[in-house]
Structure 1
Amino acid sequence: MTNNIFLYSKSNKTKYKTYKIYLYFKKHNKYNIIKLGIYNSKLNIISCIYYILLKYLKYGFKLNKNIIKILLYKFKCYEFKFKNNKGNDRVVDCV
């Protein structure tokens, strides 16, 4: 079974287009949809739940090109904060 993550785009009522990121996968002949976040390219607003997205990538989900571009942009421009097992905050620069 192949799982895919698609970029669903929907323009809002402003002049900017907001991209909503959803995870689509088939289970028991039905598609389950999980909202991962939003992305607005004109305003450089990224509000994605990346740890969820990366968790699905770990289990072999495939990305389309637009999602890869967004992730690469996020890795280049921002820092990630995440908690390790001891509960301490650690900051990682992804370049």
Structure 2
Amino acid sequence: MKKLFVPVVCALVGCAAGVAMPALTAQSYGAPAPGAQRWEAYCAFEETLQISHIDRADGQREYNNMLQRLGSQGWEYVGPFTGQFATPCFRRHAQ
């Protein structure tokens, strides 16, 4: 009787898991609603790497000029990507 107990319990747990599996699978999302805004994202990795001595005043001026240039191109600043340098990341409406 004891030898049958473990296999029977395992079989019952397996059956219960099989029945519950559709509820445990990942949710899929439908297509976005028509008219939903789409965004482009951009992080200025290359531009940040080209600025030498970003910790000095001249490097900070270059950094600010880069931010202004990207802002004039329609990019909205959303925050930094922090790695070796604080790389600025932007978004704008998809074209």
Instruction: Flag whether TM exceeds 0.5 (same fold).
Output: no
For normalisation by structure 1, the TM-score amounts to 0.26
Give the structure, 1 or 2, with the largest relative contact order (CA under 8 Å, sep 6 or more). Answer: 2
Larger relative helix fraction? 2
Largest Rg, 1 or 2: 2
Larger relative strand fraction? 1
